[in-house]
Structure 1
Amino acid sequence: MTSFFKGIEELFVDYLFWPLDQLRFMESWWGANFLNWIFMLIGFVAFVYWMLQLKQFNENNEEDKSISSHSYL
């Protein structure tokens, strides 16, 4: 059973995380954090998209009354 977990460890440490190890030992701070900048850019684009959708929803005076925990009589 331990050989199974050692195999999983070898797969992740030696093969799948190898590119991240190369980024960690780079001399350039900007190069080492390139992946983080990409993720921040994706998050910023998603945030702007979501805010534009909310603005459009608000300008159309739409309300979602289908989701409620109370029956308003």
Structure 2
Amino acid sequence: MKDFFNGIADLFVNVLFAPFDALRALELENWFSANIFSWIFMAIGFVAMVYWMLELKKYDANGEEDKSISSHSFL
């Protein structure tokens, strides 16, 4: 069992976390290149939020949304 858990540790440390080690090396050289993934994820989130707000505005303008006061019969 010890070899099994050492194999799992080796997989994570040497294979799956290798990209993070490369990013750690970039951090010493340039702040922007080290945080490029953060900027990409922020841009994707911003575009998704704008798209979602435009879709909500479109459905609100078409009158397709149910705007009844009570959402359940027991209320």
What's the TM-score, normalizing by structure 1? 0.80
What percent of counterpart residues are identical? 61
> Gapped runs of 5+ residues in structure 1?
none
Q: Residue 21 of structure 2 aligns with which residue? A: 21
Superposed CA offset, 1:42-70 (max 9, x none) = 111111111111010111112247xx752
> Gapped runs of 5+ residues in structure 2?
none
Deviation at 1:41, TM superposition (A): 1.0
Deviation at 1:28, TM superposition (A): 0.4
Task: Give every structure 1 segment of 4 or more consecutive aligned residues whose post-TM-superposition deviation is greater than 3 Å.
Answer: none
Superposed CA offset, 1:24-46 (max 9, x none) = 12210000111111111111111
Give the RMSD, CA atoms, in angstroms.
2.0
Q: Residue 4 of structure 1 aligns with which residue? A: 4
Deviation at 1:6, TM superposition (A): 1.7
Q: Residue 40 of structure 1 aligns with which residue? A: 42
- Distance in 2, Cα, partners of 1:69 & 1:11: 50
What's the TM-score, normalizing by structure 2? 0.78
